Amino acid sequence: MRKHHSHHHAVRAVLALGAFLLWVWAVPAKASDPVPVKVGAYEYGVVYYFEDGSPRGIVPMLIDRLNGLQDTYRFELAETSSRRRYQALMNGELDLILLESAKWDWPAFDVLYSDPIVREKDIYLTLASQSDAKSLFADVSAHPMLCVLGFHYGFADFNADPDYLRENFNVELRYNESEVLNGLLAGEAPIGIVSAGFLARRFASDPRLHERLIIGDKPDATYDLVSVLTRESAIPLDEFNALVARLLAGGDVEELWRQLHAGVSG
Question: Per residue of the chain (266 residues), what is the pLDDT tens digit?
Answer: 555 555 556 556 555 565 555 555 555 444 589 999 999 999 889 999 998 889 999 999 999 999 999 999 999 999 998 889 999 999 999 999 999 999 898 989 999 999 999 999 999 999 999 888 888 899 999 999 999 998 999 999 999 999 999 999 999 999 999 999 999 999 999 999 999 999 999 999 999 999 999 999 999 999 999 999 999 999 999 999 999 999 999 898 999 999 999 888 64
The confidence score (pLDDT) of residue 132 equals 84
Residue 26: Cβ within 10 Å count: 9
Q: What's the pLDDT score for residue 52?
A: 87
Domains (range + CATH), the chain: 35-118+225-260 (3.40.190.10), 120-222 (3.40.190.10)
> What is the chain's alpha carbon radius of gyration, rounded to the nearest angstrom?
26
236 phi-psi bin (left φ>0, alpha ψ -120 to 50, beta other): beta
Residue 265 confidence (pLDDT)? 66
Q: How far is CA 164 from CA 171, 173, 219, in A?
A: 10, 12, 22
Rounded Cα gap, residues 185 and 119, in angstroms: 27
